[in-house]
Amino acid sequence: MKSYLRVLRHQDFRYLFLGQAASVVGDRVVVVAIALYITQRTGSPTDLGAVLGAQALALVALLLFGGVWADRLPRHRIMIATDAVRGSLHAILAALIFLGAARIWEIVVIETLFGAAQAFFQPACTGLIPQTVPESLIQDAQALTESVANVAFLVGPALATAVVLGIGAGEAFAFDAATFVLSALLLLRVHPRPRGRSSAAPASLRRELHDGWREVRSRVWVWVTIVVFAGAVMCVYAPWYALAPIISRDVYGGAGVFGVLESLAGVGAVAGALIGLRWRPARPLLAGLLLVMAWPVQNGLFALGAPVALVGVVVFANGFGFSLLMIWWETALARHIPARALSRVSAWDWMGSLALLPLGFLVAGPLASTFGAQPVLGVGCVIGVALLVIAVMQRSVRELGGEPDAASAEDVPRNVGVEARGEAEVTHIDPLVGAVHEGSRLEKAHVALREEAVRGAVRERGAEPARVRERREDGRHRLGA
């Protein structure tokens, strides 16, 4: 709780957090509302797959462009614009449902445009969070953000099930539209701090995409995780949302069981987010991947028609593990990726991880019609487990630690985070920066802080190179003069 209060003292993060808290609850309501509404209306997994696949396809196709623009323009402005677009789209869909005029192709068009707007929102949000808190509080901010997403994961499905089955789907989409309006209004009050080096003039779109890809390619743990999740999302995530509502209705006696299970996953996710405030494992990515092994196992048990209680336990474990993995993954990106490229790397991450999601949604229905929904979900479980095992076998994944690497520390060498109590604290300082930046205005202002960092580096590394020592002594001499 103290960690929550500490990070919420920062006004910009507080506004961002409150806006996203409202928006993400609406999003989770809509995810389940779409599944239940189409299952009620047509009962066709192909129709459901077409709607979900259209949104995912637009999202994947435009994510890289969204990442480039999020590194060029003020990120909170991009988020405001995309909130306005998404709110308008779901307000239109709500009106169509109220009028009884919503057809499948219209829902497909609306969700395609929604996915396109989401492609610009997501990289901007990933890059904005570290700009609203000091460097030392990034994991706390990620944990709190993830916790509210997980509360939404808990509340959203239950609320969607109650609203869609008890009142109507139109109200669910109208509620989501209202949350986007609230989010946009709160984002207007956010004034993020500068972070990382900024270019005098942006490079070409192609060059910036290439630079982002270079950051991904140079880190095996990043691209291996992205590739593994591309396959797992297609074989585990897509079949779950396309077929689980149908299996729930046919095997477990009602589509509402699907909503209940989604709420249990939300309970686990909230628990994971709370643990994430304190738990900082030495090998965070390895720990996260081991925990999410419950993800494909959940699908396998559901496909076998296992008792609901057993499925519920594994669903809870899945939510718990995914919550921690997301906290540690986003924190690792913020700490190991240069700030100037964070949104582009995030875009490559999202685009790569979701690249096969549209295909997964589109083929799930036809495969289920041919082989049955349960066999398709079961085969996806086996593939998902195999892919996660492959990820864990990679040395760079197993050995990734929690400290920033040299590339990211070099990009944010002089960030000074200001805590709410008004005291300055140094967050990331390369120990040798003070030795080479002699005579500069910044050195005069921060010489005491840098000298402390250099002394710490000397204690850790032993004897420093003679040339560096001489240059530092010369710099002190000049400052004393």
Give the chain's domains with CATH numbers: 11-191+206-399 (1.20.1250.20), 429-480 (no CATH)
Instruction: Give the pLDDT means over successive 10-residue stretches in the chain (481 positions).
Output: 68 83 79 80 80 86 82 84 92 90 88 91 80 78 73 71 76 87 89 64 69 85 92 93 87 82 83 80 90 94 93 93 87 82 78 86 88 93 95 88 55 41 33 33 39 44 46 46 45
Other CB atoms within 10 Å distance of the CB of residue 30 = 25
Q: How far is CA 208 from CA 58, 71, 211, 341, 347, in A?
A: 21, 9, 5, 9, 12
Can you spell out the DSSP letters for 318-354?
HHHHHHHHHHHHHHHHHHHS-GGGHHHHHHHHHHHHH
Which residues lie below 8 Å from residue 400, measured CB to CB, with a gap of 6+?
Answer: 221, 283, 284, 285, 286, 332, 336
The residue behind tokens 């593994």 is 228
Planar angle of CA 426, 272, 330, nearest 5 degrees = 45
Planar angle of CA 356, 359, 362, nearest 5 degrees = 155
- What is d(CA 66, CA 125) in angstroms, rounded to the nearest whole number? 11
Output the pLDDT for position 2: 58
- What is d(CA 38, CA 370) in angstroms, rounded to the nearest whole number? 20
**Per the structure block, which two tokens stand in for 203?**
């490079």
- What is d(CA 196, CA 337) in angstroms, rounded to the nearest whole number? 11
Which residues lie below 8 Å from residue 476, measured CB to CB, with a gap of 6+?
Answer: none
**Per the structure block, which two tokens stand in for 286?**
């390895």
Output the pLDDT for position 74: 80
Query: Quick one: which of 124, 224, 111 has its CA closest to 183?
Result: 124
Query: Quick one: which of 3, 242, 256 has its CA closest to 142?
Result: 3
197 residue type, one letter: R
Output the pLDDT for position 169: 80
Output the pLDDT for position 415: 42
- What is d(CA 353, CA 238) in angstroms, rounded to the nearest whole number? 12
Output the pLDDT for position 197: 52
